Amino acid sequence: MKHTSRTTYIGLNLRSCSIRLWSEEDADALQRYANNRKIWENLRDIFPHPYSLQDADAFLDFATQARSTEFAIANETEAIGGIGLRLGDDVHRHTAEMGYWLGEPFWGRGIMTEAITAFTPWAFRWFELLRIFAQPFATNTASVRVLEKAGFVCEGQLKANVIKDGKLLDSLMYACVREPPVIYRLWGEKR
């Protein structure tokens, strides 16, 4: 059964970070790290720039709702980034798109690789997913490396797929798919 109540989510405590629920107290750290053009350049336009305290408050109002699938990546003192899912529906109900970002002072430390590596199997189980995908811009080589280190496989290049900051860009389709025995158990089939 799919879990929908945020009150039962269990945080993931990792070597370099934790993945936990967002809280209203994260507003200052969220604004401080998210207000970075380098981060904005690699995310969808729904992620504002500049990123104000009002933007942080609005996001936290959404992210702390009962059915939110947005989580904070945190060190021992504060939120330093985010990771989340956009759950599919209808024929895509066992699929989700993953998005993520990390504050620039924490880049190059393996934090995001560790976070995605731990978050993916947790999300498979918690949301009864069969496939999780991400679509980094082709120019975002750091994100591509992170996905590959976390076990995601490139399924293709989507030509002229996005317009970001007035530029027409390709994006890449990376995915991680559950092992077939798990898929068949979920469907109740024997193969």
Q: What are the residue ranges spanned by the domains of the chain?
A: 6-187
Q: Are strands 18-21 and 70-74 parallel, antiparallel or unpaired?
A: antiparallel
* Residue 85, pLDDT score: 97
* Residue 8, pLDDT score: 43
**Threshold 0.85, pTM exceeds:** yes
Contact 19, 125 (CB under 8 A): no
* Residue 190, pLDDT score: 47
What 3-state DSSP class applies to 16? coil
* Residue 188, pLDDT score: 60
Cα separation of 137 and 117, whole Å? 20
| C-alpha distances out from residue 120 to 68, 82, 123, 176, Å | 17, 14, 5, 8
* Residue 186, pLDDT score: 60
**10-residue averages of pLDDT along the chain (191 residues):** 49 93 97 98 97 98 92 97 97 96 98 97 93 98 98 98 98 92 57 43
Cα dihedral value 29, 15, 7, 92, nearest 10? 100
Cα separation of 109 and 111, whole Å? 5
* Residue 11, pLDDT score: 80
- The third-level CATH classification (topology) of the domain covering 6-187 is Aminopeptidase (3.40.630)
Element (H, E) at 184: helix 180-187
What 3-state DSSP class applies to 42? coil
| C-alpha distances out from residue 141 to 7, 164, 191, Å | 36, 16, 38
Residues 6+ apart with CB under 8 A from 171: 135, 136, 137, 138, 157, 158, 161, 162
